[in-house]
Structure formats: structure tokens, C-alpha cells
């Protein structure tokens, strides 16, 4: 049973930089974690539970009664806590006793860690079947959670932060899930495939110089613009050894195509584009507009939607309506 200082547990001399705070609500009753837990008492860290000890509902209630907002794990053991969260993510997301904002934060942490790996070009074969299957598993556990408008509201506080490609991928995925939930929420497999494609839609950019994306497209030379326009094809090529579903490949290849044929890489018309790829393309545009770029400030949601609505020949008007509906229900506009 977990111990506290009052149970004569040993005080642990640990620097705060060695510890990572976690909410006690993340520890599910009748589950064990392969990490030690520490409790801060009077400025001293006390061992609360050893590795592999069972955590019970009584322990969570006792911590809540004492007003304990955080327990701590060692930074060196955080990877074991991350694994624990991924294994039990469905139960955490379904636990209504945990505030929605907290659950949203846990989901974002878990998804960001996986997306970061998939986009880490310092790793050999950063995107492989093992890492992709982890992304799919997290998304499959998340679909019911994403059907609630409040979730998008909570996540909107976090997903606009960060300039890395995987931050943008997660932002696009969250928006795409909101729109897809208005159309195909009962087909979980289809939803997971589209959402995984949304996260990975810009993976081809890893094969291009980062400087291409630090300036407005109009400032690129014709050769540089051609390079930049190749990233959807490069993304599909990069995924050749990974068993991506067809919907995910569509999202990667077609996310810059437009209704009037003005997009790239193939100038395909909207009539031949898969609906889910058009959803990701619209969400990609909105998320890009609402992110700060080196050459401009972020648009407000209203400004971004106004800009998109002014280009109805480039985007499906019905999908624009669905995006507005989703943002409105989430109280983001």
C-alpha cells in the first residue's frame, strides 16, 4: 500500500528538475505502474508508492481529501509513465471524474510524443509500422472522446502552440475529427485512418530544406516553389514501407488540391478528390492561418474563416459550413 511521511517513509533528496508532475486522477484504481511515485510534503519529496504497487480508489480519494494536486515521477522513469498512459488511455478518457481539460491535456501529451517520433528525421526510419500502429491505437482509443464539442474547446487552448510540423499535424487532426464526426462517426476504422493521415499529412516536408517554409510562398523562386510543392508526393514516398490505409495516403497526397484545380501536386478538380482528403485540406488551411508564421501574426478564428469563405471556388462550401458548425459548437469563434 502506498506510504506517506506519516507512515515513516524515507525522505528522498531529489531536485525538482529530476521530477515530472502528474495528476493523481491519471492513476487508475486497481492498476500498477512501472514507476515510483513521490509526494511533496513540507518542501521535501517523500516516496509515496514503489514501482509496481497497486493504486486503489481509496488512495485517489485520500489524496483528493488532502488537496494533493500533483504526485511526481522521476524524469528517468517518465517513459514508463507515458507507456502506462498509452496503455490505459481509453479508460482515462472515459473517466468522467477527471476534468475534461485534464483529459484533453493527457491525450495531447500522449499524441504529441508519438507524432514527434514519427517526424524525427534524426531517427533511422522515424516513421515505421511500429510507430504508426501506436498512433493508430491512440486514435482508436480517442474517437468517442472526440465526439464531444467540449473536447475541441479544451484542445484549442493547446494545439495552436508550437511551430513543428507535428504540432500542425495534430491541430489539423483535431479539426478533421470534429468535421468527420458530423459525417462518419459510426465508422471508427474510417475515422482512425483519416485522422492518422491528418497527423502525417506534412511528413514529406522532412525531406526538404526547412528554409522553404520560413518565408511566404510568393517569395520563393520558381525552383524553390516547385520543391515545396513536391512535399505531398515525397510524403507518400516516405510512407511506402509503412502499411498506411488508403484514406491516410489520400490525405497526404491530396491535402493541397483545391476544388477549382488550382492546387498541387496534380491540379485535380474537387469532383475527383476523396471527401476525407478535402476535409483535411480545409483543416490544413485553417490551422495554418491560425498559427503564427515568420512573416505574419496568427489570424483569429474569425479572420481565418473570413479568408477561407472568400475563396469558395477553392474549397467545398458544404465543408466550410461544417467547419463553422464545429467551431461554433466548441465556442471557438
Structure confidence by residue, pLDDT tens digits, 96-145? 888 888 899 889 989 998 999 999 877 667 788 999 999 999 999 999 89
Q: Hey, what's the cell of 206?
A: 522532412
- pLDDT score recorded for residue 45: 86
Close Cβ partners of 139 (under 8 Å, ≥ 6 residues apart): 191, 192, 195, 196
Domains of the chain with bracketed CATH: 1-78 (no CATH), 88-329 (1.10.3210.10)
- pLDDT score recorded for residue 73: 94
- pLDDT score recorded for residue 111: 93
Give the CA angle between residues 89, 110, 298 to the nearest 5°: 130
| Average pLDDT rounded to a whole number, residues 305-312 | 93
Q: At what angle do helices 165-180 and 129-146 cross, to 10 degrees?
A: 40
Residue 241 or 265, more confident: 265
The Cα–Cα gap between 124 and 29 comes to: 38
Close Cβ partners of 80 (under 8 Å, ≥ 6 residues apart): 33, 34, 35, 73
Structure confidence by residue, pLDDT tens digits, 183-210? 876 899 999 999 999 999 999 999 999 9
Angstrom CA distances, 194 to 124, 134, 181, stand at: 25, 15, 11
The Cα–Cα gap between 277 and 125 comes to: 25
Q: Which helix (H) or strand (E) holds 215?
A: none
Indicate if the pLDDT at residue 72 is higher than 50.
Answer: yes
- Of all residues in the chain, the percent with pLDDT exceeding 90 is 63
| Average pLDDT rounded to a whole number, residues 1-10 | 44
Indicate if the pLDDT at residue 16 is higher than 70.
Answer: no
Q: How far apart are the first and last CA of the chain?
A: 48
| Average pLDDT rounded to a whole number, residues 83-106 | 90
Q: How confident is the model at residue 214 (pLDDT cuts 50, 70, 90)?
A: very high
Average pLDDT, the chain: 90
Amino acid at each position: 500500500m502506498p506510504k506517506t511521511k506519516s507512515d515513516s517513509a524515507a525522505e528522498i533528496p531529489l531536485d525538482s528538475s529530476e521530477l515530472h508532475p502528474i495528476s493523481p486522477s491519471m492513476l487508475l484504481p486497481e492498476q500498477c505502474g512501472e514507476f515510483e511515485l513521490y509526494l511533496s510534503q513540507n518542501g521535501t519529496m517523500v516516496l509515496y508508492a514503489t514501482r509496481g504497487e497497486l493504486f486503489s480508489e481509496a488512495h485517489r480519494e485520500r489524496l483528493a481529501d488532502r488537496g494533493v494536486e500533483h504526485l511526481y515521477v522521476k524524469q528517468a522513469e517518465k517513459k514508463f509513465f507515458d507507456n502506462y498512459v498509452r496503455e490505459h488511455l481509453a479508460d482515462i478518457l472515459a473517466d468522467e471524474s477527471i476534468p475534461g481539460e485534464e483529459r484533453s491535456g493527457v491525450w495531447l501529451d500522449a499524441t504529441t510524443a508519438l507524432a514527434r517520433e514519427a517526424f524525427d528525421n534524426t531517427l533511422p526510419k522515424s516513421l515505421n509500422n511500429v510507430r504508426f500502429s501506436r498512433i493508430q491505437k491512440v486514435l482508436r482509443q480517442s474517437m468517442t472522446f472526440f465526439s464531444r464539442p467540449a473536447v475541441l474547446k479544451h484542445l484549442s487552448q493547446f494545439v495552436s502552440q508550437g511551430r513543428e510540423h507535428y504540432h500542425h499535424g495534430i491541430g489539423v487532426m483535431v479539426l478533421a475529427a470534429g468535421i468527420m464526426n458530423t459525417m462518419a462517426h459510426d465508422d471508427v476504422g474510417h475515422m482512425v485512418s483519416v485522422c492518422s493521415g491528418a497527423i502525417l499529412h506534412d511528413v514529406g516536408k522532412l525531406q526538404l530544406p526547412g528554409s522553404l517554409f520560413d518565408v511566404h510562398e510568393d517569395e520563393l523562386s520558381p525552383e524553390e516553389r516547385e520543391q515545396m510543392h513536391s512535399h505531398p508526393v515525397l510524403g507518400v514516398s516516405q510512407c511506402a514501407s509503412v502499411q498506411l490505409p488508403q484514406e491516410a495516403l489520400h490525405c497526404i497526397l491530396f491535402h493541397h488540391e483545391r476544388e477549382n484545380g488550382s492546387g498541387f501536386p496534380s491540379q485535380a478538380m474537387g469532383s475527383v478528390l476523396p471527401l476525407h482528403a478535402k476535409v483535411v485540406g480545409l483543416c490544413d488551411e485553417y490551422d495554418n492561418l491560425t498559427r503564427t508564421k515568420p512573416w505574419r501574426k496568427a489570424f483569429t478564428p474569425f479572420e481565418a474563416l473570413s479568408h477561407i469563405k472568400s475563396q469558395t471556388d477553392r474549397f467545398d462550401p458544404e465543408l466550410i459550413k461544417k467547419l463553422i458548425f464545429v467551431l461554433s459548437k466548441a465556442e471557438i469563434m
